[in-house]
Amino acid sequence: MSTPVSARPATAALKTQDRTIDAAPALEVEGLVKDFHSGGLFSRAAVRALGGVDLAIRKGEIVALVGESGSGKSTLARCIARLEKPTAGRILLNGTDVLKRDRFQASREYRSQLQMVFQDPFGSLNPVHRIEHFLTRSLTLHGKAGTPAQLRTRLDELMTTVGLTPDMLNSYPHELSGGQRQRVAIARALAVEPEVILADEPTSMLDVSVRIGILNLMRQLRDEQGISMLYITHDLASARYLADRIAVMFAGELVEEGESLDLLANPAHPYTRLLVSAVPDPARTGSYDPHERAALRAAVMESASCAFDGDPEQRCSATEPVRHRVGDPANEHWVRCHLYRPPATAASHALSAEPLESAERPDTPPTDESRTENKASS
């Protein structure tokens, strides 16, 4: 069985190049399962979208959740946001199990602590309202509007925080660019002063030229306001640039997790290696091996690498893969795969409570060449 997040002690803060991340988790997910049902009334088949996901996000940390389309990333975010009801599992915000509280009575309080930024900046804003309406409504619903003078000051502050001018409050969504609309969506989320933001591919529908502005804004919010974020993406270049840690999702399960630079430099799961190999990298010029890539694809698609594939003759079908430590015992890099073989000089360790010393965070934004639709089918 996978290790519950709450059972993993955190005794020290995670240190990065220029800041320290609080060891206490802001958001924890334990054994989260989500089944979708299809068919008629008397023949309802269940499709498992999430298969026991464990994930923790520390206070002031950005975790990137990566994987191809259909792997379950957005379903996980919607379950955390309580837009979908999980089949099983726990969601803890600051140690409180939110699923034990009434969905409607607690929704306003919960959403004042956790907000979601959706993928489509063109569909998330009602075209008949001005920008001022969206921000004012959020402030009013959560009791943060104050007096008219205080409201005006707060609206101006929100627009300035996300890099927009206050005069844009009188604009309609169609008068703004895609990047500006996404900044409005982020401002709407910030209006309630949340502790956690779920960003579901916030840059995927934007032009390449404006993506870096949104990524830099998210970094600024993390560094200056200490907001925790779950950044959902299939773009490994942006995940490397933005996130402190990366979690890889395959077929509704987390198969690998680690500090961003370490995981991308030393991928252990066949699926992670396949994703990394799909990213154009000038440093790898001349080292591309089509035979190795074909072997990785086979390892991902064949039953030997996929848990619970229904073949009782395969070990991966009969038993759940355990977590293996990757690299140094003090590392937080782990992988769940029967095919993983640790070096002969290192044993496979359980997840340690020791903090992970982060490598230097890249300050260079992802280039046009490194920004790609990272799908295993590419």
- DSSP code of residue 174: G
The one-letter code for the residue type at 291 is H
Supply the pLDDT for residue 110: 86
Measured CA to CA in angstroms, residue 15 lies from 19, 24, 264 at distances of 6, 13, 19
pTM here? 0.79
Task: Give the Cβ contact number of residue 123 at 10 Å.
Answer: 12
The pLDDT-based confidence of 304 (bands split at 50, 70, 90) is very low
pLDDT at 118 over 80: yes
Using CA atoms, how far apart are residues 143 and 160, in angstroms rounded to an integer?
21
Rounded CA separation 316/271 (Å)? 15
- Give the pLDDT band of residue 262 (cuts 50, 70, 90): very high
Banded model confidence at residue 271, pLDDT cuts 50, 70, 90 = confident
Give residue 157's Cα distance to chain centre. 27
Tens of pLDDT, residues 8-54:
434 345 555 455 566 789 999 999 999 988 776 666 778 888 988 99
CATH of domain 5-235+242-254: 3.40.50.300
Per-residue pLDDT band for 355 (boundaries 50, 70, 90) equals very low
Distance CA 272, CA 64 (A): 13
Give pLDDT tens digits for 314-336. Answer: 555 557 778 888 887 777 899 98
Among the residues of 36-130, which ranges form H helices? 73-80, 107-111
Distance CA 90, CA 53 (A): 10
Q: Which pLDDT score, from 0 to 100, does residue 375 have?
A: 39
Percent of the chain beyond pLDDT 70? 71
Please tell me the distance from the alpha carbon of residue 15 to that of residue 226, in angstroms, as a whole number.
14
- Return the amino acid letter for 71: S
Residue 372 has pLDDT above 70, yes or no: no
Domain boundaries, given as residue ranges, for the chain: 5-235+242-254
Report the range of poorest mean pLDDT among 83-87, 251-255, 338-342.
Answer: 338-342
- Is residue 296 scored above 90 in pLDDT? no
